[in-house]
Chain A
């Protein structure tokens, strides 16, 4: 197999002095889709945010190596420019920041880092309109302030739009499927599937098996109390769906 895109070893992190991640191990190879499931508050979003570089989380131990580089030493924008993308569980609203202008600024920041010229305004417009159409995002939404007045589903689709324009190597999707109706879910899944490639990897955080019917994972992990307690194939997600998280609590609890 080729070199891993991401290697996380014994990663520990605190927020306000309270330990949240208590030793996470995870290795992701190019071309793979990893799903991370687990009960509320188990630390899934924390892991995603730590990988994206949010400074509110203090890393207290372990390491994260991205394409051979120490990810934890990089600023959030460096990670993004190097190809790490996080689709937020709760995308932030920024009144006054035009959605499309922002996306262009982001794309140009990344292109500049890759030694490419700024994208032509006309080409950009064509690109965004084509991708937006496929995701069922209206022109009007593109011209609004970032996420302001968007429904939950529109926010998630907008995250996937950014993903498809910014073309990262490692995409982390934090509950992008939550709160979506079936049409939105299919649009999002299709957006992800068209992005799947041998060079790119996905980490998909989800509560539900439902998304995994459309975006079929290579590996499924279960996170519990700040650790990955079980990993397996896509059957693991099905089992979890059938038996519920209480089953997990019993197994993990008794193993301690």
Chain B
């Protein structure tokens, strides 16, 4: 059964005619696909444990920025040694809050502007990787995005400091939706980090439906960080797609701390021989919150390596889903893939559904996976208490320690301490 999408039609129609013809065509196709698909239900295998009816039932309006809220959210954002800061408020680029690159070899701008200034490049890559044939939310985003961010790094460039893309949702008196869109094009042998951070005001009900596409040319070394720090009442749905050229290295660090309901689809296509992917993830749910992580490492080329480690912290009556798929095509001989998912359950009511999914069509490969679910250890708690920490402090310290391994993998040192702090803030309330 398909859910009704009629409530979104006015929003859709408004966007369809915008931009150049090629974009209008893509939007139209996405729109039709979204209409045909409707919202997924728990009868869809990929959505078995995530019921999006709270989203499907809600009449979302297009978000209109609330500037006072945007400014106060800015104060909570990561202030690191970023080379560039692009600020998007409700999915639209805001120049006055952003900081442009001083270095040569990197172009960072709004999607609107990129379409005007680099039409061929954007046309070649936008909405190519993130296929929407069977993903309604990606189709919705593609049909409706108002704006977004584009980062283009020239071949051979090594950037000093990260590109920080800050997505602020400001909410409204009624539920609102925005469709942040990000395109990252890493030139041959370029090397840099992108930090995408999502923030929203507490108490607001909104949906951020984001799509990020990252294209790594041969030999590029790209680190993508995503900090999902949405409001506790918010909905966050996101797809992250990356395509890896020959000998390129891509790392996705994904930290999910907010949202009432969140869903991430991370797809990495190891298309060039010798490419390497690392998926490093951490999710934390408490209260009645729900988070769903679906990752796909798609080994297409031979001699590629993937390492995946996702850690989950589940408290209160929180629920988590981890589905880690590794698909090895017949040509992808000598694939070396390792996947881990480790979960820490802090209460009896919390649940995690964890499932590895291996689809291997090549014979000379090494693929291993493992999932664990554990609790805090009494001996560790007692040790910390015996040194003067209260039971709550000890618990928070152990939660942060559990998350520590994920954070320690960040190559951006200034982000490590900041993210430990964000995790600590939440951990103290568990």
Interface residues of A (CB under 8 A from B): 52-56, 75-77, 79-81, 85-86, 88, 91-92, 94-98, 102, 105-106, 109-110, 113, 145, 162, 166
Contacts and interface: CB of A to CB of B under 8 A. Distances in A.
Interface string B396-430: 01101111110010000000000000000000000
Contact of A92 (B383, B389, B391, B404): B383
B393 A86 contact: no
Contact of A94 (B388, B391, B401): B401
A97 B382 contact: no
A97 B401 contact: yes
Nearest to A162: B387
Contacts of B389: 77, 105-106, 109
A89 to B, nearest CB: 12
Interface in B33-82: none
A85 B385 CA distance: 11
Contact of B388 (A54, A55, A97, A113): A113
A76 B404 contact: no
Given A53-B385, A77-B385, A106-B389, A97 B405 contact: no
B207 to A, nearest CB: 33
Contacts of B403: 96
**Among A76, A80, A92: residue with most chain B CB under 10 A:** A76
Nearest to B397: A97
Contact of B401 (A95, A106, A110, A166): A95
B390 A77 contact: yes
Contacts of B21: none
B173 interface: no
A96 to B, nearest CB: 3
A75 B391 contact: yes
Contacts of A95: 401, 404-405
**Among B377, B383, B391, B397: residue with most chain A CB under 10 A:** B383
A113 B391 CA distance: 15
Chain B contact residues: over half helix, strand or loop, or mixed? Answer: helix
A61 B249 CA distance: 64
Nearest to A110: B388
Nearest to A82: B388
Top 3 closest pairs, chain A to chain B, by CB: A96-B404, A96-B401, A109-B388
Interface string B360-388: 00000000000000000111101111111
B376 to A, nearest CB: 11
B380 A92 contact: yes
A236 B201 CA distance: 70
B385 A97 contact: no
Contact of B404 (A54, A55, A88, A97): A97
A106 B404 contact: no
Contacts of A105: 389, 393, 397
B80 to A, nearest CB: 20
Contacts of A102: 384, 387, 397
A113 B389 CA distance: 11
A154 to B, nearest CB: 16
Contacts of B386: 52-53, 76-77, 79-80, 85-86, 88
B404 A145 contact: yes
A80 B383 CA distance: 11
A18 to B, nearest CB: 18
B388 A77 contact: yes
B387 A80 contact: yes
A128 to B, nearest CB: 14
A76 B401 contact: no
17 contacts: A53-B382, A55-B378, A77-B386, A77-B390, A80-B385, A85-B386, A88-B383, A92-B377, A92-B383, A97-B401, A105-B389, A105-B393, A105-B397, A106-B384, A109-B387, A109-B388, A145-B404
B230 to A, nearest CB: 25
A96 B402 contact: yes
A75 B385 contact: yes
Contacts of A85: 386
A10 to B, nearest CB: 24
Given A77-B390, A96-B403, A54 B382 contact: yes
Contacts of B401: 94-97, 145
A56 B386 CA distance: 14
Contacts of B380: 92, 94
A240 to B, nearest CB: 29
A141 B403 CA distance: 21
A245 to B, nearest CB: 28
A37 B230 CA distance: 58
Contacts of B394: 77
Given A54-B382, A97-B397, A80 B388 contact: yes
Nearest to A90: B379
A77 B397 CA distance: 14
Interface in B316-339: none
Given A76-B385, A106-B389, 6 more contacts: A53-B385, A75-B385, A77-B389, A77-B394, A94-B401, A106-B384
A73 B402 CA distance: 31
A83 to B, nearest CB: 10
Nearest to A112: B388
B399 to A, nearest CB: 10
Contacts of A75: 385, 390-391
A229 B385 CA distance: 31
B215 to A, nearest CB: 34
Contacts of A88: 383, 386
Contacts of A162: 387
